[in-house]
A and B are shown apart, each in its own frame.
Chain A
């Protein structure tokens, strides 16, 4: 455990992640305020022109830095100490309220039970009609907390507590690209056909990943998402069109 309670999110701990990366940990819980600071820090660090930087990976409540050990070692005795110091300095100047103007995106989702293949099971388990589950899922604006697992897989939250559903015990071997799922209080969209254990409530005809686009990934941490229900006919039309 890093901290018992987090009141000052500017308190952090830097620990090595192997010999070529380090993680800046701010807390060990999922919290929207802390997550917003991780996104601010990510954007801040991206602007710093750090010569050793290979990657910055923002997560729920941490930011991981992957660095080039050789580049640093050419001039410094310890790459870790040097990078840690540089990051500490950068953090001091971070504007935690930085608002990187998140995209506000409406994503069409077809909640037909032929696509939302776990809707009926969830309805039985929770004793909530399918229509109400759909209503609860598409009535909220979700925040993209982080991207991980697959290229462009957005972890979003949080769903209404009535539809919080643990991951399936037996993951499916194949979930279709575009499938929208729930795992615990998180919701997400599979950008590719993939094995997975999330409860599938619908499918979007949108392509969340396109290698030919300049930015192949559609969603980024910090974006705000609203799901808009569409009928099966429209889903099929859009899917063909896209």
Chain B
């Protein structure tokens, strides 16, 4: 056994980039809420960008390491501590065995991600390691992590030389992720197929007002509180496919943004969609925070996403360079 959950958090689970190819069977993709943080955590420890990570919410699980490990924590800053040493986010860290990782308080963000070098040893379900709690499948036993759960790493190695007798060693390089979360309350969107069902007043409200992320928001969707939006007509829609980021208008005039655990189909008007590149920053907002929408064009949304991908690849190249010399120095792999 490599790690043990000493105390469980409110909703911590294994996720990867999602389970695709099965939505025609109603099997929703799940996957991480913040893919930028996940990819950064993975690249910091030399993993495939889409390797499975643990997604933590606050209050988060307490994790005992039974083996030495190279880890990175990205996304939310929950004031991570290894025994009594504060560990920064976006930084590779070596942990000594029998040390405890705890998240002390929520400083910024909503979800933290833990990656370990070479990944966790989990069974693959339908080509993915993501947890589908509805189907009780995928991830670790198809559910959130609980006290006493024990999970292995795919491989272990000896980091003693790098640790120099300490509980943990914070390595000397960091990944800068601030571009992914810039202007964090301004969410860029593209129009949905029923955008023009909104009446003129509703369009104005939608474009210029702030909306508050409701307490009833979770991995399935963010419910928004704000001025009611009215439709010009209330034509009937029949169910069709929906996707991550789809903003549906509910019959009560309020909106829901579909997130990682969204259903595969829906029948409410789709007034807009959060652009893929802004899902990560939305995933790091907490209930009661305000957001505003900024409508952009489809082509621009694609450009921003491709630009974000290229930044991740640059980060990966830079970190691989550091990691390679670190591994060579201590004869690791």
CB-CB under 8 A from A148, the residues of chain B are 26, 239, 263-265
Instruction: Please name the residue on chain A nearest to B27 by beta carbon.
Output: A151
Partner of B246, one of A17, A80, A152, A155: A17
**Contact assessment for A69 and B21 in the assembled complex, using a CB-CB cutoff below 8 Å:** no
**Contact assessment for B238 and A54 in the assembled complex, using a CB-CB cutoff below 8 Å:** no
Contact with A along B12-31 (1 / 0, CB 8 A): 00000000111111111100
**Contact assessment for B28 and A59 in the assembled complex, using a CB-CB cutoff below 8 Å:** no
Partner of A153, one of B26, B238, B309: B26
Instruction: Please name the residue on chain B nearest to A61 by beta carbon.
Output: B238
**Contact assessment for B135 and A151 in the assembled complex, using a CB-CB cutoff below 8 Å:** yes
**Contact assessment for A55 and B240 in the assembled complex, using a CB-CB cutoff below 8 Å:** no
CB-CB under 8 A from B22, the residues of chain A are 55
Binds A, one of B85-93, B162-170, B269-277: B269-277
**Contact assessment for A150 and B26 in the assembled complex, using a CB-CB cutoff below 8 Å:** yes
B132, CB-defined interface residue at 8 Å = yes
Given A70-B309, A148-B26, A148-B263, A216:B235 Cβ within 8 A: no
**Contact assessment for B309 and A151 in the assembled complex, using a CB-CB cutoff below 8 Å:** no
A166, CB-defined interface residue at 8 Å = no
**Contact assessment for A28 and B237 in the assembled complex, using a CB-CB cutoff below 8 Å:** yes
The docked-state distance in angstroms from the alpha carbon of A42 to that of B246 is 22
B227, CB-defined interface residue at 8 Å = no
CB-CB under 8 A from B301, the residues of chain A are 18-19
A57, CB-defined interface residue at 8 Å = yes
CB-CB under 8 A from B246, the residues of chain A are 17-18
**Contact assessment for A216 and B305 in the assembled complex, using a CB-CB cutoff below 8 Å:** no
CB-CB under 8 A from B243, the residues of chain A are 17-18, 20-21, 64, 66
The docked-state distance in angstroms from the alpha carbon of A152 to that of B27 is 7
B306, CB-defined interface residue at 8 Å = yes
In this complex, the interface size class of chain B, counting residues with CB under 8 Å from chain A, is 35 or more
A242, CB-defined interface residue at 8 Å = no
**Contact assessment for A78 and B299 in the assembled complex, using a CB-CB cutoff below 8 Å:** yes
The docked-state distance in angstroms from the alpha carbon of A152 to that of B132 is 13
CB-CB under 8 A from A92, the residues of chain B are none
**Contact assessment for B25 and A147 in the assembled complex, using a CB-CB cutoff below 8 Å:** yes
B298, CB-defined interface residue at 8 Å = yes
Contact residues, B1-49 vs A (CB, 8 A):
20-29
**Contact assessment for A66 and B20 in the assembled complex, using a CB-CB cutoff below 8 Å:** yes
Given A19-B190, A146-B239, A55:B24 Cβ within 8 A: yes
A43 CB, min distance to chain B CBs, angstroms: 10
Given A18-B190, A148-B26, A78:B273 Cβ within 8 A: no
Given A59-B265, A70-B305, A216-B25, A54:B239 Cβ within 8 A: no
**Contact assessment for B276 and A20 in the assembled complex, using a CB-CB cutoff below 8 Å:** yes
Given A73-B306, A148-B263, A192-B135, A62:B190 Cβ within 8 A: no
B317, CB-defined interface residue at 8 Å = no
The docked-state distance in angstroms from the alpha carbon of A157 to that of B288 is 42
A13 CB, min distance to chain B CBs, angstroms: 9
CB-CB under 8 A from A211, the residues of chain B are 125, 135-137, 142
Contact residues, A126-163 vs B (CB, 8 A):
146-153, 155
Q: Chain B contact residues: over half helix, strand or loop, or mixed?
A: loop
The docked-state distance in angstroms from the alpha carbon of A30 to that of B309 is 40
Contact with A along B200-237 (1 / 0, CB 8 A): 00000000000000000000000000000000000111
B137 CB, min distance to chain A CBs, angstroms: 4
Given A153-B26, A217-B27, A17:B265 Cβ within 8 A: no
B245, CB-defined interface residue at 8 Å = yes
CB-CB under 8 A from A221, the residues of chain B are 24
**Contact assessment for B126 and A216 in the assembled complex, using a CB-CB cutoff below 8 Å:** yes
**Contact assessment for B302 and A78 in the assembled complex, using a CB-CB cutoff below 8 Å:** yes
The docked-state distance in angstroms from the alpha carbon of A29 to that of B193 is 16
CB-CB under 8 A from A147, the residues of chain B are 24-26, 264
A232 CB, min distance to chain B CBs, angstroms: 27
B175, CB-defined interface residue at 8 Å = no
**Contact assessment for A55 and B21 in the assembled complex, using a CB-CB cutoff below 8 Å:** yes
The docked-state distance in angstroms from the alpha carbon of A29 to that of B240 is 11
B322 CB, min distance to chain A CBs, angstroms: 25
- Chain A interface (Cβ < 8 Å from any Cβ of B): 1, 15-21, 23, 25, 28-30, 42, 54-64, 66, 69-70, 73, 78-80, 146-153, 155, 192, 209, 211, 215-217, 220-221
List 13 additional contacts besides A28-B236, A66-B241, A216-B126; criterion CB under 8 Å: A18-B244, A19-B301, A19-B305, A23-B240, A59-B238, A62-B240, A64-B241, A148-B263, A148-B264, A149-B264, A151-B27, A152-B26, A211-B137
26 of the cross-chain contacts (CB-CB < 8 Å) are: A18-B190, A18-B244, A18-B246, A18-B275, A19-B190, A21-B241, A28-B238, A54-B20, A57-B264, A63-B241, A70-B305, A73-B302, A73-B306, A73-B309, A78-B299, A146-B239, A147-B264, A149-B26, A149-B263, A152-B25, A192-B134, A211-B135, A215-B25, A216-B135, A216-B137, A217-B26
